[in-house]
C-alpha cells in the first residue's frame, strides 16, 4: 500500500498505479483526452497535467506512477493556463468554427440538418455534435477564444470503405484508435504516419481498410473522441437520447450490446463495455429498417402478392395446414428466440419439424475447461472473421499468452495473423493432425513440409493443446487422448434444438417427394421441387414464389432470450415496437396453435440415405477440382447479410465462387465470369471471383442454404458462355 | 583501404596524418599515400613512418600532418605539397613555413603545435589520445595506458567503490542535462531486477556538433573502457552503442574496436579472466533528432518508432524492455577511465565547484579557428572565443555566442566573462547542451537565428504532443512573419507566452527546450525584434524582405561587371556611368556585392529596404 496526497487529501494506492487511476478512484476529477481505460497510457495530449511537489514542471497524471509520500495538486492557475494552451493548440488544427462563436445558441435553432454537408468546418456540420469530447473540454476549461492561426489539413474525407468514414481533418492525434486496434483488437490496421506537424493516422501504405485486414469491428469509431471517425449509416439518424441493453443474436456468441435510440427509432448498435464484431456493430439496425423489409402479411392472389390483415392471413394459413395434414413440413431457423423454438417444438405432433442448421450432439463451450500454457489449433475455422470476440476473450482470460496455430487450406484472416499457419491439401486435415500428434518422423501425406510440422510439434511441447473447430466445416476428426477437442458452432440456440431430438433433418424434408406444403420459419433454402403451398414467416422475401408471407419481428423488437455457445441464456430486451404489422415469431406460432384443428397430424418422411462423405482429395477426371466449403456465419435467418447490405457484400463477396489465378487461367475465366459448379449432388451457378486465398486446383464457396445443401467434394467447373 | 602499420622502432620521425571525417573529406588519405610514396622514393622509408590518427580537432585547417617527436604542426596540406615537404623537412631538416599555422595576416607562422593558441589553452582528458594513436589498432590504445583503469576496476575495486569514485569526482552528464553520473549509476544499481542494460548515446543530433563523432572516430576504446567499467559498477550484462547512421566512419571504427576488444578478452565472457561478462552491440539511428532523447532512443533500440514517453518512470527504474537502464553520452563514458586511473580527487581539482572536469566544445561560426576544443570547466567565454578561437575573422565585432544547439540560447557581449559551467549557462537562459558553441558577429541577425533553430525543432518534432508539434509551429509562423517584414504589435509578447507554455507542458526535452533560442534572443536582443517589427529594419542586414542592395553613386565607376553578372538583369547603366539597381526586379542574391571589384566596393546592403 502506498500513501500519497492529492489536493491535500490522503489516498492509498497500489504499486504500479498511475496518479490518474488513483484520482479517478477517489472521485477527484482530472480532465483527459488521450487517456482511455484499458489502453496503455500515452501521455500525448498534455491535458491531464498535474503539479507534484519537488518536480521541475507539471507532469501528465496518466503516465505518472505513484510513489510513497507524493504530494500532487490537480488544480492551479498554472495548470489551467497550460491545459487551455494545449487545448487551444489542438483546436488550431481542428475545425472549430462553432465552438467559440457567440451566435451558437441562435444558430442551433435553424441548422438541425446541416450535419449532412460534406465538409465539416464547425460543430454544426459535424456528426459528433453533442457527443464530442472537445466540446466538453472547451466548456470545462472555459475557453472563449483561440489565439492561434487555424490550419485545415485539406484532406479528402475517406469514403471508399464500407460502414464508416474517416475525416482526418478532425483528427487530434490522440492515438486512441491506434491503441485500441493494436492492443485490444490485435488487428493492427491503424498507426501513425510521418512525424512532427505532418503526423497523420492511417493504414499501411494508405490502403483502403478492406485491403488491410480491418475487421470493421468499429472499436476505433467508438473510441474516437471527435467526429473524425464516424458510422456512415447512423450519421443520418441523429444523436441518441437513450439506450437499451440487450444481446446480439447474429451468432452463437451472443455479445452484450447497447441499442441506441432516438425518439423511438434505433440509431445504431454499440458494444456494452466489451468487444463485438462487424455483424453486431453494423449489421443490426440497417436490417431492421431495410427498405426490403416486409412488415405486413402478404397473400398471393393470382400472380401478385397483396397486403392482408392478420385475421385473413391466419385463416388462410389454418385452412391450408388442414388441407395438407400429414404432408406439411416445418423448417425453422435456429436464429429465433428460445421461446419461439419451444413453441415450434410443441407442434411436433401436428407437423414434421426440422431445423436449419441443426446438430443433435451439442456440447456447450466452456472457458473453465481451458487451462493456461495453452496452444489452440484452429481447424478449418476463421476465428477472426467469425468468432473474434471469443478469440479476444481467449487471449485475455488465459494468463500466459496462448499460441494460435491455424490449420486451413484457405488463407483466412485468422491464418494471416496466427502464430503459425499450416496449410494442408484440401481434405487432408486428418492426415495433418495425425502427423502433428504422431511421434517420430512422418511422411509428407498432407502436403505440409516436414520442417513446418516439426516446428509446430515443438510449439506443442509441454502445453495444453486444444483443437477448436466449426463442426460444419470438418467432420469426424480423430484426436489422441491428451488433446482436447472444442467443437464450436455459429448456430444460435444449438443446445435447445439438440434437446428437441428432432427425428428428421432439413435435408430429409427437402428431399421428400410426398411433402406438399412447406412452412418456413426464418429460412429460405433452395427448393428441389414444386410445392402446392409455401408459407414463409420472416422479415424479407425469399428468392422463390410463395403463397403466404407472415412478417416476423427482429430480435430488437421483442423480449425473449436465446442460448449461446456456452449454453447460457442470453436476454433479449425489446428496444422498439415491431415495425408495421410485424409480430414476434412466438406470437404467430401461438396463433397457429390456438387456431389449429386437432385433426391436423404429423406425417412420416424417409430419412435420406447418409452417403459416405465423398473424399475431397479424391479428384477424378470427371471431377478435377476440389470444392472447399465453409459455413457462412454472416447470416440473419434465411438470408446472408451480404444479400441485403451493400457493406457486407463488399466485405464478404460470398455470392461468388472463389478461385485463384492459376485455376482461373486453367478455366480461362475472369472476375464475374459465370460458371456452373457441378458435383455428385450439387449444381450451382455463380460468378467467379479471383482470390489468392484459395489453394491451387480448388474452388471455394461459402455454404448457404440459398445455394442448396452443398458440402465439400470434388467438382467440375463449366464456364457458361454468355449469349451475345 | 588503410593498411595496418606497426611502429618501426628505428624510425627517427613519425608523421601523423589526421583521419577524422573532416580531413578525410579533404583527401587526407591521398596525402598519406603520397607521403608514403615520396618517402620511399627518397629512400627514407626505413627511418620515417607514416600513421593515421583520429581527429586533431582543428578541423578548419585540415588536412593536418604532425611531425613527431618535434611536434611540428602542418595544416592545409595537399597532395601537391608533399614532394616539397618531404624534400625540405624530412630530407634536409628545414621545416616548411608555408604549411605552418599563421595566427593572422602579417604575423609569424607558429611551427610547434603546443605553441598554437588553439591547442595551448586546451586541457585534454577525453581527447587525450587524439592525434597520437591509430584508432583502428587496440595495441596503440593499450600502449598509451589503455584498459589499465579497467583492470583496476575489475580486480581491485568493488562496484560500490567504483560508483563512489565517480560520484566523488563530480562527473556530470555531458549529453546536455548535466545530471550527476555517479548518482545515476547508483540509482540504476539499486533498482530491482537482475537484468540491466547500459547505453551509450551517440545520436548527436545538434546541427554543427561533432564532439561525439570525434571521440568515436579518434579514440573508440576510451568509450568502450568507460562502458565496461560502468557495466561492472551497475551490474549490467549488455550494452548498446546507439550511433546516428550519418556517422559511417564512427560506426566502422567502434565496430572494429569492439571486435578487437572481444579478441583480447576485454569484452564477452569472463573479462580479463574475472567472472564478469559483458557484451556490446552497435545500433544505428535512422535520421531523427528526437532519437537523441533517451526514451525515444530506447524505443528506437527496441525496434519501435522513435517517440518519447513521459518520465517518470525514469530509465534507471524502467528502461529497455522494462529493465533498469543507464544511459550516458559518449563523452561521459570517455571520462570514466581517467577518473578511475587517476582518482576522483584529481578529476575534481579541475573545473568549478559545481561542474568538474573538462568539456569538449565544437567552436564554429564566425570564428578564426574552427574546430573541437576541450577546456576545463570555469574557463571564460572570452578565453575560448579569443584566445583559443583566435577571435572574429575580418575584425568584425562579436555579437553573441549560441551554446547548447537548438536547445540552448544566445549569450551577448556583456556576458563574455562568464565562466562556463552548467549552472552559469542555465542562469543566463542558455544551457551547456552537448557542447555546441556558435559564434556570431555583427552580420548575424538574432531574429533569423531564432527562426533557424525553431525551424529545425519544428521539423524534428516527433509530433506526439500538441505543445511541441503545434507550439513550435506557431512560433515559426510568427518568426517567419517578422523576418518577412510582416510583424505587428503584440507579436513579441505572444511569442514569449507561447515559448514559456511550450517549455512547461511539452512531453520531452526537445519541446521543453525548443523555445530557448527565442526566449534568450528576446531577453538580450529585444531591440532587434522591435526594429524588425516596427521599423521594418534588420540591423544585421540579413532578412531579405527588409534589406535592399544599392549602388553608391560616389563609388561606382560604371565598369558594368555587376550588370553583366546579375541573374535577373536588375542593374541598369551605361558603361563608365553610375549604375542603379531596380528594386522591383532585384532578387537579393548578393552576386553584385561579390563581383564588384575590391577597389570600388560600390555595392552595399541597406535596411530598411528602399522602394
Task: Please state, for a pLDDT cut of 70, what percent of chain B lies above it.
Answer: 99
Instruction: Give the span between the Cα atoms of B464 and A41, in whole angstroms.
Output: 13
User: Are A337 and A569 a contacting pair, CB within 8 Å?
Assistant: no
Q: What is the mean pLDDT of chain B?
A: 93
Nearest Cα of chain B lies from the Cα of A65 at a distance, in angstroms, of 7
Provide the grid cell at B361.
566544445
> Given this model, what pLDDT does residue A396 score?
85
**Beta strand ranges found along B47-140 (DSSP E):** 48-53, 65-68, 72-74
The verdict on B309 touching A (C-beta cutoff 8 Å) is yes
Q: Taking 60 as the threshold, does the pLDDT of residue B8 lie above it?
A: no
Per-residue CA distances from B403 to A35, A121, B409 (Å): 38, 44, 6
> Given this model, what pLDDT does residue A654 score?
93
Is B505 within 8 Å of A199 when comparing Cβ atoms? no
Interior CA angle at A124 toward A122 and A126, to 5°? 70
Find, among A43, A53, A56, the residue nearest to A73 by Cα.
A53
pLDDT tens-digit readout, B41-69 = 988 888 899 988 888 888 888 899 999 88
Confidence band, pLDDT 50/70/90 cuts, at residue B457: very high
Confidence band, pLDDT 50/70/90 cuts, at residue B4: very low
| pTM metric for this prediction | 0.91
pLDDT tens-digit readout, A404-440 = 999 999 999 999 989 999 999 999 999 999 989 887 6
Cell 493456461: give the residue: A372
- Summary count for chain B: helices (H), strands (E): 24, 17
Coil vs helix vs strand at B494: helix
Find, among A170, A89, A165, the residue nearest to A133 by Cα.
A170
φ and ψ at A617, to 5 degrees? -80, -10
pLDDT tens-digit readout, A121-177 = 888 888 888 899 999 999 999 998 999 999 999 999 999 999 999 999 999 999 999
For A19, nearest residue in chain B (alpha carbons): B312
Provide the grid cell at B424.
552559469
Higher model confidence: residue A238 or residue B476?
Answer: B476
> Given this model, what pLDDT does residue A503 score?
87
What pairing do the DSSP bridges indicate for beta strands A2-6 and B72-74? unpaired
Coil vs helix vs strand at A397: helix
> Given this model, what pLDDT does residue B250 score?
94
Is B305 within 8 Å of A59 when comparing Cβ atoms? no
User: Are B558 and B578 a contacting pair, CB within 8 Å?
Assistant: yes
Confidence band, pLDDT 50/70/90 cuts, at residue A115: low
For A291, residues 6+ apart whose C-beta sits below 8 A from its C-beta are: none
Cβ atoms < 10 Å from Cβ of B259 = 12
Chain B positions in Cβ-Cβ contact with residue A86 (cut-off 8 Å): 465-467, 505
Q: Taking 80 as the threshold, does the pLDDT of residue B3 lie above it?
A: no
User: Are A571 and A246 a contacting pair, CB within 8 Å?
Assistant: yes
Complex prediction ipTM: 0.90
For B503, nearest residue in chain A (alpha carbons): A57
The verdict on B465 touching A (C-beta cutoff 8 Å) is yes
- For residue A377, the cross-strand partners are A405, A467
**Structural domains of chain B, with CATH:** 13-116 (3.40.30.10), 138-347 (3.40.50.11540), 358-441 (3.10.20.600), 446-535 (1.20.1440.230), 547-606 (3.30.70.20)
3-state per-residue secondary structure call for B346-392: HHHCCECCCCECEEEEEEEECCCCCEEEEEECCCEHHHHHHHHCCCC
> Given this model, what pLDDT does residue A616 score?
82
Give Dmax (Cα) for chain A. Answer: 91
> Given this model, what pLDDT does residue B7 score?
52
- Closest partner residue to A59 (CB to CB) among B288, B310, B503 is B310
Per-residue CA distances from B349 to A562, B169, B180, B340 (Å): 83, 9, 17, 14
Nearest Cα of chain B lies from the Cα of A91 at a distance, in angstroms, of 10
**Element at A140 (helix H, strand E):** helix A133-140
Interior CA angle at B351 toward B332 and B514, to 5°? 55
Q: Where are the alpha helices (DSSP H) in A372-505?
A: 383-386, 388-397, 413-417, 429-437, 450-460, 494-499
Find, among B375, B348, B349, the residue nearest to B167 by Cα.
B348
> Given this model, what pLDDT does residue B367 score?
93
Angle, to 10 degrees, between the axis of helix B491-505 and the axis of helix B516-524?
140
Q: Taking 90 as the threshold, does the pLDDT of residue A357 lie above it?
A: no
Provide the grid cell at A378.
484452429
Is A196 within 8 Å of B459 when comparing Cβ atoms? yes
Find, among A354, A319, A313, A314, the residue nearest to A600 by Cα.
A319
Interface A–B counts its CB contacts (< 8 A) at 91
φ and ψ at B205, to 5 degrees? -90, -15
- Over residues B299-326, mean pLDDT: 95
Nearest Cα of chain B lies from the Cα of A197 at a distance, in angstroms, of 6
Instruction: Give the span between the Cα atoms of A129 and B360, in whole angstroms.
Output: 57
φ and ψ at B507, to 5 degrees? -75, -40
Provide the grid cell at A456.
509446430
- Over residues B509-538, mean pLDDT: 95
Per-residue CA distances from B492 to B370, B452, B531, B536 (Å): 34, 17, 12, 14
Find, among B132, B182, B127, the residue nearest to B159 by Cα.
B182
> Given this model, what pLDDT does residue A613 score?
64
Provide the grid cell at B276.
564478469
> Given this model, what pLDDT does residue B60 score?
86
Coil vs helix vs strand at B536: coil
Chain B positions in Cβ-Cβ contact with residue A57 (cut-off 8 Å): 503-505, 512
Chain A positions in Cβ-Cβ contact with residue B506 (cut-off 8 Å): 46
- Over residues B450-457, mean pLDDT: 95
User: Are A553 and A540 a contacting pair, CB within 8 Å?
Assistant: no
Cβ atoms < 10 Å from Cβ of A201 = 23
For B474, nearest residue in chain A (alpha carbons): A148
Instruction: Give the span between the Cα atoms of A441 and A448, in whole angstroms.
Output: 13
Find, among A389, A186, A178, A168, the residue nearest to A278 by Cα.
A389
pLDDT tens-digit readout, A176-225 = 999 999 999 999 999 999 988 899 999 999 999 999 989 999 999 999 99
Chain A positions in Cβ-Cβ contact with residue B503 (cut-off 8 Å): 57
> Given this model, what pLDDT does residue A611 score?
67
Chain B positions in Cβ-Cβ contact with residue A81 (cut-off 8 Å): 501
Find, among B196, B184, B190, the residue nearest to B323 by Cα.
B196
Dihedral sign, CA of B146, B149, B151, B154?
negative
Is B310 within 8 Å of A149 when comparing Cβ atoms? no
> Given this model, what pLDDT does residue B212 score?
94
> Given this model, what pLDDT does residue A211 score?
93
Chain A positions in Cβ-Cβ contact with residue B459 (cut-off 8 Å): 196
User: Are B479 and B456 a contacting pair, CB within 8 Å?
Assistant: no
DSSP string, A353-373: EEEES--S------GGG--SS
Instruction: Give the span between the Cα atoms of A160 and A141, in whole angstroms.
Output: 37
The verdict on B501 touching A (C-beta cutoff 8 Å) is yes
User: Are A34 and A45 a contacting pair, CB within 8 Å?
Assistant: yes
Instruction: Give the span between the Cα atoms of B18 and B45, in whole angstroms.
Output: 20
Interior CA angle at A102 toward A99 and A103, to 5°? 100
- For residue B119, the cross-strand partners are none
Q: Taking 80 as the threshold, does the pLDDT of residue B105 lie above it?
A: no
The terminus-to-terminus CA distance of chain A in angstroms comes to 82
Instruction: Give the span between the Cα atoms of A92 and A149, in whole angstroms.
Output: 6
Chain B positions in Cβ-Cβ contact with residue A89 (cut-off 8 Å): 466-467, 470-471, 474
Amino acid at each position: 500500500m502506498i500513501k500519497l496526497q492529492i489536493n491535500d487529501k490522503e489516498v492509498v494506492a497500489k504499486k504500479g498505479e498511475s496518479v490518474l487511476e488513483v484520482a479517478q478512484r477517489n472521485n477527484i476529477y482530472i480532465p483527459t483526452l488521450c487517456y482511455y481505460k484499458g489502453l496503455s497510457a500515452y501521455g500525448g495530449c498534455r491535458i491531464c497535467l498535474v503539479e507534484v511537489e519537488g518536480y521541475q514542471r507539471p507532469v501528465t497524471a496518466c503516465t505518472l506512477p505513484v510513489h510513497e509520500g507524493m504530494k500532487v495538486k490537480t488544480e492551479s492557475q498554472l495548470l489551467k493556463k497550460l491545459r487551455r494552451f494545449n487545448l487551444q493548440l489542438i483546436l488550431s488544427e481542428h475545425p472549430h468554427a462553432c465552438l467559440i462563436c457567440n451566435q451558437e445558441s441562435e444558430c442551433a435553432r435553424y441548422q438541425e440538418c446541416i450535419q449532412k454537408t460534406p465538409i465539416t468546418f464547425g460543430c454544426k456540420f459535424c456528426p459528433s455534435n453533442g457527443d464530442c469530447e472537445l466540446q466538453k473540454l472547451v466548456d470545462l476549461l472555459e475557453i472563449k477564444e483561440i489565439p492561434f492561426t487555424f490550419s485545415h489539413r485539406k484532406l479528402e474525407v475517406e469514403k471508399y470503405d464500407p460502414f464508416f468514414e474517416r475525416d482526418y481533418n478532425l483528427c487530434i492525434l490522440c492515438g486512441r484508435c491506434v491503441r485500441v486496434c493494436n492492443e485490444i483488437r490485435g488487428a493492427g490496421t491503424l498507426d501513425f504516419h510521418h512525424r512532427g506537424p505532418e503526423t497523420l493516422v492511417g493504414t499501411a501504405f494508405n490502403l483502403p481498410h478492406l485491403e488491410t485486414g480491418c475487421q470493421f469491428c468499429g472499436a476505433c469509431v467508438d473510441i474516437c473522441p471527435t467526429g473524425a471517425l464516424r458510422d456512415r449509416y447512423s450519421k443520418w439518424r441523429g444523436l441518441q437520447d437513450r439506450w437499451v441493453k440487450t444481446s446480439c443474436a447474429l451468432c452463437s456468441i451472443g455479445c452484450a450490446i447497447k441499442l441506441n435510440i432516438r425518439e423511438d427509432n434505433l440509431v445504431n448498435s454499440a458494444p456494452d463495455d466489451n468487444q463485438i464484431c462487424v455483424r453486431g456493430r453494423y449489421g443490426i439496425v440497417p436490417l431492421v429498417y431495410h427498405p426490403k423489409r416486409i412488415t405486413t402479411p402478404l397473400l398471393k392472389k393470382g400472380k401478385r402478392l397483396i397486403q392482408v390483415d392478420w385475421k385473413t392471413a391466419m385463416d388462410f394459413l389454418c385452412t391450408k395446414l388442414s388441407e395438407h395434414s400429414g404432408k406439411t413440413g416445418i423448417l425453422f431457423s435456429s436464429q429465433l428466440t428460445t421461446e419461439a423454438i419451444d413453441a415450434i417444438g410443441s407442434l411436433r405432433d401436428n407437423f414434421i419439424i426440422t431445423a436449419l442448421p441443426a446438430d443433435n450432439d451439442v456440447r456447450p463451450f466452456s472457458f473453465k475447461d481451458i487451462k493456461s500454457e495453452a496452444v489452440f489449433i484452429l481447424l478449418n475455422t476463421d476465428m477472426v472473421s467469425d468468432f473474434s470476440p471469443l478469440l479476444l476473450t481467449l487471449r485475455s482470460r488465459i494468463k500466459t499468452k496462448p499460441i494460435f496455430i491455424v490449420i486451413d487450406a484457405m488463407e483466412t484472416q485468422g491464418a494471416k495473423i496466427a502464430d503459425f499457419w499450416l496449410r494442408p491439401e484440401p481434405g487432408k486435415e486428418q492426415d495433418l493432425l495425425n502427423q502433428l500428434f504422431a511421434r517420430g518422423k512422418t511422411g509428407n501425406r498432407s502436403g505440409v513440409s516436414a520442417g513446418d510440422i516439426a516446428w509446430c510439434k515443438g510449439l506443442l511441447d509441454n502445453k495444453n493443446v486444444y483443437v477448436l473447430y466449426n463442426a460444419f466445416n470438418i467432420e469426424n476428426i480423430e484426436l489422441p487422448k491428451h488433446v482436447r477437442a472444442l467443437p464450436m458452432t455459429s448456430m444460435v440456440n444449438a443446445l435447445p434444438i439438440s434437446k428437441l431430438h428432432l427425428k428428421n433433418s432439413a435435408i430429409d424434408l427437402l428431399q421428400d417427394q410426398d411433402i406438399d406444403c412447406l412452412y418456413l420459419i426464418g429460412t429460405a433454402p433452395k427448393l428441389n421441387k414444386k410445392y402446392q403451398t409455401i408459407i414463409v414467416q420472416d422479415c424479407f422475401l425469399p428468392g422463390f414464389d410463395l403463397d403466404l408471407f407472415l412478417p416476423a419481428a427482429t430480435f430488437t423488437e421483442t423480449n425473449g432470450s436465446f442460448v449461446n455457445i456456452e449454453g447460457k441464456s442470453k436476454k433479449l430486451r425489446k428496444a422498439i415496437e415491431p415495425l408495421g404489422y410485424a409480430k414476434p415469431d412466438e406470437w404467430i406460432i401461438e396463433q397457429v396453435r390456438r387456431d389449429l384443428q386437432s385433426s391436423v397430424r404429423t406425417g412420416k418422411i424417409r430419412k435420406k440415405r447418409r452417403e459416405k462423405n465423398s473424399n475431397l482429395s479424391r479428384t477424378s477426371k470427371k471431377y478435377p477440382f476440389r470444392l472447399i466449403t465453409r459455413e457462412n456465419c454472416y447470416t440473419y435467418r434465411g438470408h446472408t447479410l451480404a444479400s441485403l447490405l451493400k457493406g457486407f457484400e463488399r466485405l464478404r463477396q460470398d455470392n461468388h465462387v472463389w478461385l485463384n489465378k492459376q485455376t482461373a487461367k486453367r478455366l480461362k475465366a475472369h472476375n464475374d465470369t459465370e460458371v456452373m459448379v457441378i458435383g455428385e449432388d450439387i449444381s450451382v451457378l455463380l460468378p467467379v471471383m479471383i482470390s489468392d486465398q484459395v489453394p491451387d486446383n480448388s474452388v471455394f464457396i461459402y455454404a448457404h442454404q440459398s445455394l442448396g445443401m452443398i458440402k465439400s467434394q470434388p467438382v467440375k467447373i463449366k464456364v457458361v458462355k454468355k449469349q451475345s | 583501404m588503410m593498411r595496418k602499420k606497426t611502429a618501426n622502432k628505428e624510425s627517427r620521425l613519425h608523421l601523423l596524418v589526421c583521419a577524422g571525417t573532416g580531413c578525410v573529406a579533404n583527401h587526407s588519405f591521398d596525402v598519406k599515400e603520397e607521403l608514403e610514396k615520396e618517402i620511399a622514393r627518397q629512400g627514407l622509408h626505413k627511418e620515417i613512418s607514416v600513421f593515421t590518427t583520429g581527429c586533431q580537432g582543428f578541423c578548419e585547417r585540415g588536412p593536418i600532418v604532425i611531425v613527431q617527436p618535434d611536434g611540428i604542426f602542418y595544416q592545409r596540406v595537399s597532395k601537391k605539397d608533399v614532394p616539397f615537404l618531404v624534400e625540405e623537412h624530412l630530407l634536409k631538416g628545414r621545416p616548411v613555413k608555408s604549411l605552418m599555422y599563421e595566427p593572422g595576416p602579417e604575423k609569424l607562422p607558429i611551427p610547434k603545435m603546443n605553441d598554437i593558441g588553439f591547442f595551448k589553452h586546451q586541457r585534454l582528458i577525453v581527447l587525450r589520445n587524439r592525434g597520437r594513436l591509430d584508432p583502428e589498432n587496440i595495441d596503440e590504445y593499450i600502449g598509451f595506458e589503455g584498459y589499465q583503469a579497467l583492470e583496476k576496476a575489475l580486480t581491485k575495486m568493488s562496484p560500490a567503490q567504483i560508483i563512489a569514485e565517480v560520484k566523488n569526482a563530480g562527473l556530470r552528464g555531458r549529453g546536455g542535462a548535466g545530471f550527476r553520473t555517479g548518482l545515476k549509476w547508483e540509482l540504476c544499481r539499486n533498482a530491482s531486477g537482475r537484468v540491466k542494460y547500459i547505453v551509450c548515446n551517440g545520436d548527436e543530433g545538434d546541427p554543427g556538433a561533432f564532439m561525439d563523432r570525434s571521440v568515436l572516430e579518434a579514440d573508440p576504446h576510451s568509450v568502450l573502457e568507460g562502458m565496461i567499467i560502468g557495466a561492472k559498477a551497475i551490474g549490467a550484462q549488455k550494452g548498446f552503442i546507439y550511433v546516428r547512421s550519418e556517422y559511417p566512419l564512427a560506426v566502422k571504427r567502434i565496430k572494429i574496436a569492439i571486435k578487437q576488444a572481444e579478441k583480447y578478452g576485454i569484452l564477452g565472457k569472463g573479462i580479463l579472466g574475472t567472472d564478469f561478462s559483458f557484451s556490446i552491440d552497435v545500433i544505428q539511428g535512422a535520421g531523427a533528432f528526437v532519437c537523441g532523447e533517451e526514451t525515444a532512443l530506447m524505443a528506437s533500440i527496441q525496434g519501435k518508432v522513435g517517440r518519447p514517453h513521459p518520465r517518470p518512470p525514469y530509465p534507471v527504474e524502467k528502461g529497455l524492455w522494462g529493465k533498469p537502464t543507464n544511459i550516458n553520452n559518449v563523452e561521459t563514458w570517455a571520462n570514466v577511465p581517467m577518473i578511475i586511473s587517476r582518482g576522483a580527487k584529481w578529476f575534481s581539482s579541475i573545473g568549478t565547484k559545481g561542474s568538474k572536469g573538462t568539456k569538449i566544445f565544437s567552436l564554429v561560426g564566425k570564428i578564426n579557428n574552427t574546430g573541437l576544443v576541450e577546456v576545463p570547466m570555469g574557463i571564460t567565454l572570452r578565453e575560448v572565443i579569443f584566445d583559443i578561437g583566435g577571435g572574429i575573422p575580418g575584425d568584425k565585432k562579436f555579437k553573441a555566442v549560441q551554446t547548447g544547439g537548438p536547445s540552448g540560447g544566445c549569450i551577448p557581449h556583456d556576458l563574455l566573462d562568464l565562466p562556463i559551467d552548467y549552472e552559469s549557462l542555465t542562469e543566463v537562459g542558455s544551457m551547456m547542451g552537448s557542447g555546441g558553441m556558435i559564434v556570431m558577429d555583427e552580420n548575424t541577425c538574432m531574429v533569423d537565428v531564432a527562426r533557424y533553430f525553431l525551424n529545425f525543432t519544428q521539423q524534428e518534432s516527433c509530433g506526439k504532443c500538441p505543445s511541441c508539434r503545434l507550439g513550435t509551429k506557431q512560433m515559426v509562423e510568427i518568426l517567419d512573419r517578422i523576418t518577412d517584414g510582416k510583424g505587428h504589435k503584440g507579436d513579441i509578447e505572444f511569442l514569449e507566452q507561447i515559448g514559456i507554455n511550450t517549455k512547461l507542458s511539452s512531453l520531452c526535452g526537445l519541446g521543453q527546450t525548443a523555445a530557448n533560442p527565442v526566449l534568450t534572443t528576446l531577453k538580450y536582443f529585444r531591440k532587434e525584434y522591435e526594429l524588425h517589427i516596427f521599423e521594418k529594419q534588420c540591423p544585421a542586414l540579413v532578412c531579405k524582405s527588409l534589406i535592399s542592395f544599392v549602388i553608391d553613386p560616389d563609388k561606382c565607376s560604371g565598369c558594368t561587371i555587376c550588370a553583366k553578372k546579375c541573374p535577373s538583369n536588375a542593374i541598369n547603366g551605361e558603361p563608365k556611368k553610375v549604375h542603379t539597381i531596380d528594386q522591383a526586379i532585384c532578387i537579393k542574391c548578393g552576386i553584385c556585392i561579390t563581383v564588384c571589384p575590391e577597389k570600388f566596393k560600390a555595392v552595399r546592403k541597406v535596411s530598411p529596404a528602399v522602394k
